[in-house]
Structures are given as structure tokens and as C-alpha cells.
Amino acid sequence: MILFWMLKRKHLILFKTMDIKLNDIQRCITIAYGIDDIKSVERFTVVASKFTTQDHHFLVKTSKNTFFLKRYDTSHINKILCEVSAVLRLKDRIRIPQIFQTKEKLDYFIDNGSVFVLYQYVDVLNLKETDEEAQSFFDVLCDIETKLTASNSDWNNFYDFHLHLSRFESESTELLKVIASDGRNHAPRDLEYVKFLVNEVNKLKSDILNLKIPKSLIHGDFLMQNLLRDEDGIVWVLDWEKSLEYITSVDVMRSITFTMFDPAQEDMNLNAEVFAKWSRYCFKKIPLSKEEKSNAINLYYFHVITNTDFLRRLYIERQDLNEKMAGEDFLICKWFRDHKDAIQVVAGSIL
């Protein structure tokens, strides 16, 4: 599989984003990194990831080494900045991939609408491919989350729920207007989705706004396919592009949700008892404040119903995205509305 990391700005004008040719990528790498013995550049598909897009990952092979190359449109450059920030902060705490810098000591290079990052490559399977047992995966999750909370230097730096709510209210108002005038077939569903979110947020916000929950760096996409276990048993954590200062319990519960989640199964394979079981398991191991644990279910539901990122990209930014994912997010929201009280009862005093 892969180990990656990032690189700073350099413009190389060799090809256009919409017409990516492997030979042009090879010339681009040679110019940026001085690697002149490249044998091949190959498209690479991340196994067990339904979110992988075409022309996003590449393997670069030389006579002695193999590198992993990751490509974004420049409109997504903030993902790279997130990864760079996280790796610098965590490199002495967590095993994460090495970034290779350009000849000019830059952290990434840009070529006519695309931004590229060159990473270390390790040829081992991710935990999804190796059918890792759930408990083993959640043990890794707890270990990494504990290290992330330990990197928090100020436990009095609380998350700003008022700012969070203000952003949601502004974006949801804009979405309601934009979706109402959108002619695509899925727009009526997504208009109902946003109205649902606004209604649910209004019911919950009074329970959330005055909580004092410490901010901590989170991974943001902690899934089995983003973890590698090498032949020495060491776990490497990949894909920090969604990392941010946020709420640890949210990161944990998101991981539990999408480890279970299967849209092809009844109720998306989500189960309140199983969800509560792993929540209890993780929160016994991860050092969190009593206030965060006791409000963890509501905190996660508040996150779910205020997360309009995909809708914003689909309707406001007009990105070419799989519209079915908005429908899946809507189903998850409704599932949690209907089951969060049952999860709280089963989870008991740990939460």
C-alpha cells in the first residue's frame, strides 16, 4: 500500500489537469526533484476505498526505489496544508509517512491546475485488506487518539460552538436558496435534507453552545484503509488531509460509524448496541474530560447535523461529485436521530 506526505509552492507548466499524461508527470517529477532514472509512472488505485477518484494516486518507480505520488486540483490545496501541519506536529509521536522535498526544499509542487506531493512508499497491506478484527482496529484507534490528545498543549483551549453554529446558519441559508433553484433530479431530496438539518440543529443547540470541550488535533478520516501494519507490527497512519483542531470524541465516533457503515445493508449496517459497545470500549481507553464523555452522543450528533461540507461542494462550488453520497449522509443523520437515545442508554455511565 502507501505511505505519503507533503511538500511548498512551485509552478511547473507541463500539462493541463484535464489531460493528464504519465509521460508528462514523469518529466514534471524529474524537474521538481531531480530524479532522472524513473523507469515508470503508473496509476494506482487504493484498495477498499470507495472514495478514490481517477488520476489521484500514482506509483513512481526508479531503478532503486518506489515513490507514491498524490495529485489534487489546486482548489484542494488546503488538504495539503492540513497534512503538512499535522506531520510536523506529530512526527515524533506517531509513525507517519515521509515527505520528499523538491530540489528547492519545497513541500509540494504545482503544475497548471494540479498540485503534487511525493511520499515514501511501503509495500504492505492496509488493515481493511488484511481483514483486521474490529477490536484490534479500535485498539489502534485508541492508541493514536491518546497520542493526539497528548499533543494538545492547552487543555483550556475550548472549541468555539458559537462560531461553529454561525457558520452552519450562514451556509444552510445559502444552501436553501441555491438548492431551491437547482434543476437536478436530486435537488428536492437535498432541499429536504437541509431543512431537516436546520430543524434538528435548532432543537439541539441549547444543549451544546455552553459546553467547554477542549480542542485537540484529530485525524478526521480514521478508517482501516488509512492504516498500514508493516512486517514488524508497526502501524503507520496515512491521509492526514482532513486533520484539524476539533473534538476527539467526534473523531472516535465518526470512525465507529464508518467502520460499520455499509449502504448496501439494511439500516446501512448501523446498530445502536454495537455502536454503544465500541464507544464504551474506546472512551475507557482514551483520556477525555468528564464533560466530553457525558455529552459525547450529543456532540457527535451536532457534528453530523451541522456538516454541510459535501452539500456546499455539490451545490455552491458545483464540483463533480457522486450525488448518492449526499443521500447516504441524510440517511445517517436520520438514523442517529432515531437511535441516539438508545445508544446513550446502552453506553451507560461511560458517556
Q: Does CATH number 3.30.200.20 belong to domain 22-120?
A: yes
Residue 51 CB neighbour total at 10 angstroms: 11
- Helix/strand/coil percentages in the chain, nearest 5: 50, 15, 35
- pLDDT at position 351 is 59
The residue-averaged pLDDT of 188-216 equals 97
Banded pLDDT at 337 (limits 50, 70, 90): very high
Residue 238 CB neighbour total at 10 angstroms: 25
- Structure-model confidence comparison of residues 185 and 17, the more confident one: 185
Q: Report whether pLDDT(10) > 60.
A: no
3-state secondary structure of 181: coil
- CA angle 133–264–278, rounded 5-degree value: 35
Residue 275: C-alpha distances to residues 234, 243, 245, 260, 297 (Å)? 27, 23, 24, 8, 11
- pLDDT at position 15 is 43
Q: Report whether pLDDT(329) > 90.
A: yes
Q: Report whether pLDDT(1) > 60.
A: no
The residue-averaged pLDDT of 92-101 equals 89
- Sequence ranges of the domains in the chain: 22-120, 160-212+247-350
Banded pLDDT at 19 (limits 50, 70, 90): low
| Residue where the block lists cell 515527505 | 99
Percent of the chain with pLDDT over 70: 90
What is the model's pTM? 0.86
Q: Report whether pLDDT(21) > 90.
A: no
Distance in angstroms (rounded) separating the CA atoms of residues 211 and 13 = 50
- Least confidently predicted of 44-58, 183-197, 260-274, 275-289: 44-58
